[in-house]
Amino acid sequence: MTKISRLFDFPYYQLEKNNISNCLVTKYDGKWIATSTQEYLDKANAISRALLRLGINKNDKIAIISTNNRTEWNIMDIGILQVGAQNVPIYPTIAAEDYEYILNHSESKFCFISDEIVYNKLISVKSNIPLLKDIYSFNEIEGCKNWKSLLELGKDESNQDVVEDRKNNVKPDELATIIYTSGTTGRPKGVMLSHNNIVSNVLDSACRIPFDEGTSVALSFLPICHIFERVILYIYQYYSVSIYFAESIEKLSENIKEVKPTVFSVVPRLLEKVYDKIIAKGEDLTGVKKKLFFWAVNLGLQYEPYKANGWWYEFQLGIARKLIFSKWKEGLGGNLNVLVSGSAALQHRLIRVFAAAEMPVMEGYGLTETSPVISVNDQKNGGFKIGTVGRIIDNVEVKIAEDGEILCKGPNVMMGYYKDEELTNEAIKDGYFHTGDIGELDADNFLKITDRKKEMFKTSGGKYIAPQIIENEMKQSLFIEQIMVIGDGEKMPAAFIQPSFDFIREWAKRKNITIGKTNEELINNEQVIQRIGKEVGKYNEKFGNWEKIKRFELTPDIWTIDGGQLTPTMKLKRKVVKEIYNNLYQKIYN
């Protein structure tokens, strides 16, 4: 039996155990097309042979930019890795300038792309990427080489012995991939992960997810360029789970009904949307049906694992499951028995209600730098505790620093940041990675995240927001005196804005606009709100869609040291500002 020590060992291990016919399944022209384990490896080897013929050497970098998850991504992944080269996945929706930076910084030789939108964006900066030899596309694009030409080039098996030699010489502690994450400086950081970083994380996390080997079906839609979904896909391969790739987030609901998955991974924002839709349907009911529906929801919101609420609660829950929750489950395909959530904090109410509906959500915690899993909840062995991100996984050590920061040590901790020794040494001290998150460990080894040490935060969609960068841009406006970006764990970033009162009064005078005498009148003036909205819109253009300020509220007072909004060095006291304007926060998000 293949011993798994490198990433490309996973499909070979699956082939020995279960050569499944629908190992990877993608929809093309309205039809689901399955690739068996054997075909997956045959194509990966053809890619490896072709890459050798294109002159790819050990440690060369090959980038992949794909709008959707698909079979080709996985074939390329294995084909690249087993010749000792490295896979550089790039997030498709970032700006063309970021493509340029990452491809230059990683010195990628080739780039594989999914579609015309990505191609056009890449072509706009290609002349600034001197080391990029060629672009290949998965879709048919006029003027672009197609990846199938490499399958043709690799048909001749005469150099398979060279592939085997390269494969045998890939060591577990060698670099496998560079994943670029957005940094607070605005420039992406290249996280270097070795084969062993990710393999150890897959094997140490795998036992936490309940699978029926060879019979489970997964639907994959979270971006595979993120380490979270990528590790999940390797876990699926380890357990011989059939992987179906959703066409897009828009078609997710339709794909769920077609595939009827037993498992999929989610980000909190998706669950929020699903829950909101279910509740909206409940609101449309009338009479007894409506009463029954909300009785079941309220019961679900009180859920505790392991029948901790006692027999009477469980008796009622049995009725609620039969009458109401079974319909929820049916709406999600009917077979779903576990969801895996990561990338941002999940609301406790969602964990309770989905578990009550027999679709338990196992929340975990980790970072790209930790490959990513540090801890994860687990239905078995009493490992499910609401309000925590689960027990620490095997072979990983966590300790809490004096200031409450979570420190992590183990085979999952990255090799470092690519070409940035200084940043690496800041992040890893005495073998411990400093996560930047504040937390606590209870007596049973469950980890709880309580705060962010750094100001950077994530929306419920799992996207990082660096507030200071956005704030510094916005403050260039003559209309904006102070701004604080908010939205940690929420569906979108928003902001509190203290207007430049004096400037706005002058502007109003010039434009013959009556705005009243008090600050209160000024901030409620529709023309003022619209004008500041125009400024926000202008500066929003500099940011990715997930970073744009979607809503804002104006504050009536001037932010000062005495008022508590600012520190003596004029920095924002974020917690205090949020508390002072809690009513505006509720207005924005509720």
Please give the Cα distance from 250 to 68 (Å, whole number).
12
Output the pLDDT for position 516.
86
Instruction: Write b or e for each residue in 217-242: b if 16 or more Cβ atoms lie within 10 A of its Cβ, otherwise e.
Output: bbbbbbbbbbbbbbbbbbbbbbbbbb
Please give the Cα distance from 229 to 322 (Å, whole number).
33
* DSSP secondary structure code for residue 159 in this structure: G
> In the beta sheet, which residues pair with residue 88?
63
Output the pLDDT for position 523.
94
Residue among 588, 590, 559, 551 nearest 576 (CA): 559
Tokens of 398: 């966590």
Residue among 40, 7, 5, 46 nearest 26 (CA): 40
Question: Which residue bears the tokens 């010749």?
Answer: 83
Output the pLDDT for position 363.
94
Main-chain dihedrals φ then ψ at residue 483, nearest 5 degrees:
-150, 140
In this structure, the chain runs to a length of 590
Question: Which residue bears the tokens 């049973």?
Answer: 444
Sequence ranges of the domains in the chain: 9-170+213-261, 265-452, 466-589
Select the CATH number that applies to the domain covering 9-170+213-261 from these four: 2.60.120.10, 3.40.50.150, 3.40.1280.10, 3.40.50.12780: 3.40.50.12780
Is 3.90.1150.10 the CATH number for 265-452? Answer: no
Tokens of 21: 């016919």
Output the pLDDT for position 456.
76
Look at residue 192 and give its three-state secondary structure: strand
Task: Establish how many alpha carbons lie within 13 A of residue 57's alpha carbon, considering only the half-sphere containing its beta carbon.
Answer: 1
Instruction: Write b or e for each residue in 146-163: b if 16 or more Cβ atoms lie within 10 A of its Cβ, otherwise e.
Output: ebeebbebbeeeeeeeeb
Look at residue 468 and give its three-state secondary structure: helix
Q: Exposed, middle or buried, 136 (CB in 10 Å: 0-12/13-18/19+)?
A: buried
Contacts of 437 (CB under 8 A, 6+ apart): 405, 406, 449, 451, 452, 453
CATH class (in words) of the domain with range 466-589: alpha beta
pLDDT tens for the chain, 590 residues long, are 889 999 999 999 999 999 999 999 999 999 999 999 999 999 999 999 999 999 999 999 999 999 999 999 999 999 999 999 999 999 888 889 989 999 999 999 999 999 999 999 999 999 999 999 999 999 999 999 999 999 999 999 999 999 999 999 999 999 999 999 864 345 889 999 999 999 999 999 998 887 878 789 999 998 899 999 999 999 999 999 999 999 988 899 999 999 999 999 998 768 877 887 898 788 789 999 999 999 999 999 999 999 999 999 999 999 999 999 999 999 999 999 999 998 767 778 889 999 999 999 999 999 999 999 999 999 988 999 999 999 999 999 999 999 889 999 999 999 999 999 999 999 999 999 999 888 899 999 999 987 666 777 889 998 888 787 788 788 878 799 889 999 999 999 999 999 989 889 989 988 899 998 899 999 999 999 999 999 999 999 989 899 999 999 999 999 886 787 876 445 688 888 999 999 999 999 98
In this chain, the answer to whether the domains covering 9-170+213-261 and 466-589 adopt an identical fold is no
